[in-house]
Amino acid sequence: MAIPTEPIGSVPRPPQLLQVMASFQAGKIAREALEDAYAEALRDTIEHLEETGSPVLTDGEQSKPSFATYPLSGLQNLAPDGVVIPFADGHQRQLPRLTAGPFRYGIHAGSYTKAARAYTQRPVKQAVISASALSLLYPATEIPGYSREAFVADLINEAEADIRGAFDEGAASVQIDFTEGRLSLKLDPSGDLLRSFVGLNNQVLARFGPDERRKIGVHVCPGGDYDSTHSADVDYAGLLPDLFKLNVGRFYLQMASEPDRKRVLQLVSRLASPEHLVFIGVIDPINPVVETAAQVRDRVLEAASFLSVKQLGTTDDCGFAPFADDTSTARDTAFQKIRARVEGTELAARELGY
């Protein structure tokens, strides 16, 4: 396929996996049974992704508690009363709060890459959480004996190790999830918080060489949880100029659900450098209606009227279930939407002569 197409990451977990997870949390089964259920869900996810024709796969985040909190697994220096993220429908997600140092990841993303590659010969993309998202774990009041500066130094080291470990385990590319980027403008309309996030992430990216950064991308969207968003009301134009200051080679941009795509695509065309690969969202994961291949084709052609086909790719606006307990989208629906993306992208490529 001349136009690359990739999933963002998460796929709804099978009902049987969710049942096993609930039983484990209730203390009714042993961890071995949980690990077996994770492995079976991963195998099934890889199989179904291959059946869609997807040229690049992910692990579907089947064994992650969420796209954001997987590094915190097993950590004891956390309290539950951290930053609250409100969604438009009224529900909330809450991050934990760091209570003591040092900060270390409980699990690194390379373990997910290794597990996925055991089931496929196709390229595997690994999603990781941004350092800026995890920076929200540190409380407003300084932790005695562990300064914010010390925390940031540890965080940068761990975020680098997370990306590097994924490459070491054979990831074809690494996608940094940066959904807090658009949200930051809601929390701080001045843009200072966004710029601090970009600066922090660039400190991590500075640890990698140019060839490595070409295989590292960043994903942004207004959130997608229980068919609701946290920052869709924030103007995309406020985010994009600072977003494109991130020293990555790939950008994965929510676009299918954007009300004025042409305005945003025009801005992207001005900000993107020729060496950037820009993956445009052509599937809306929180819309229950499955897009047709023809609809996807038309969205790709629209994007191609603003961006060079040589730097254009397609993706989904967001993951289908970034949090493990999100059952708002049926698993079969997600795979149907992914198939439509693959087929529609191929239709567009043919029409464009590629």
pLDDT at 129: 98
Q: Which amino acid is at 112?
A: Y
Model pLDDT for residues 105-118, shown as the tens digit of each residue: 999 999 999 999 99
Concatenating the DSSP letter of every residue in 286-353 gives TSSSPPPHHHHHHHHHHHHTTS-GGGEEEEESS-S-SBTT--SS-HHHHHHHHHHHHHHHHHHHHHTT
Residues pairing with 218 in the sheet: 176, 251
Residues pairing with 251 in the sheet: 218, 278
Mark the ranges of the chain whose per-residue pLDDT is less than 70: 1
pLDDT at 351: 96
pLDDT at 155: 98
pLDDT at 178: 98
| CA neighbor of 226 nearest in space, from 333, 83, 89 | 89
Q: How far apart (Å, rounded) are the C-alpha atoms in residues 15 and 345? A: 30
Which CATH number applies to 15-351? 3.20.20.210
12: Cβ contacts below 8 Å, ≥ 6 apart: 320, 321, 326, 327, 329, 330, 331, 334
pLDDT at 1: 58
| CA neighbor of 343 nearest in space, from 284, 286, 299 | 299
pLDDT at 174: 98
Domain borders along the chain are 15-351
Predicted TM-score (pTM) of this structure:
0.96
A 10 A CB-CB count for 160 gives 17
266: Cβ contacts below 8 Å, ≥ 6 apart: 306
CB 178 within 8 A of CB 133: yes
